[in-house]
A = this chain, B = another copy of it.
């Protein structure tokens, strides 16, 4: 979410945001991505184009905010009873969602209209938070957790998957996710 959007939480501001986000989702679903212009989104949301420009700057920044909302995990990672299975299951799901056509489009939107990097940072924080839940749960179970922390999982599981999604789209398989998880748990790398 851009600083502009965060500067006015609640009340009318929150209603405008919700209406504009919903207008983007609806127009895209009904008429495709090419239909997304600031005037069209504003008309659907029942606000003036200048309201949209004032708040989001331009269409790219609006689409970035909408993308980050869509990339927000809806629930905590599933509990399968062990660190390895939880992390593997989470990594598979992450790869599946982010490598899908819509996942790629959201990542691209999030990165694009993000002059200060806060939306990209939020995407990364979503992943880190989910990993933190998985690691804390393993410790809570009394599992012997290898010397691995959130940073190591971000660096050696999330980052390689995201790099392939963005730069080498042909090489994404479930076994790749499984391999990365196995490697980080068996030869963990200290964060520094």
The answer to whether B192 touches A179 (Cβ under 8 A) is yes
Set of chain B residues within 8 Å of A18, measured between Cβ atoms: none
The answer to whether A163 touches B155 (Cβ under 8 A) is yes
The answer to whether A160 touches B155 (Cβ under 8 A) is yes
How big is chain A's contact interface, by range?
A: 20 to 34
A183 interface residue (CB < 8 Å to B)? yes
Q: Which one, B163, B169, B189, contacts A154 given CB within 8 A?
A: B163
In terms of DSSP, what is the predominant structure of the interface of chain A? helix
A156 interface residue (CB < 8 Å to B)? yes
Q: Which one, B112, B117, B163, B176, contacts A162 given CB within 8 A?
A: B163
> C-beta contact mask, A158-192 vs B, less than 8 Å → 1, else 0?
11101110111110000110011001000101111
A120 and B190 CA atoms in complex are apart in Å by 30
A3 interface residue (CB < 8 Å to B)? no
Task: For A162, give the chain B residue with the smallest CB separation.
Answer: B163
A108 interface residue (CB < 8 Å to B)? yes
Q: Which one, B158, B169, B175, B187, contacts A163 given CB within 8 A?
A: B158
A111 and B190 CA atoms in complex are apart in Å by 31
> C-beta contact mask, A115-155 vs B, less than 8 Å → 1, else 0?
00100110110000000000000000000000000000011
Hey, which bits of chain A sit against chain B, CB under 8 A?
108, 111-112, 117, 120-121, 123-124, 154-156, 158-160, 162-164, 166-170, 175-176, 179-180, 183, 187, 189-192
11 contacts between A and B (CB under 8 A): A108-B112, A111-B111, A111-B166, A117-B169, A120-B168, A121-B169, A155-B163, A162-B163, A162-B167, A183-B189, A187-B187
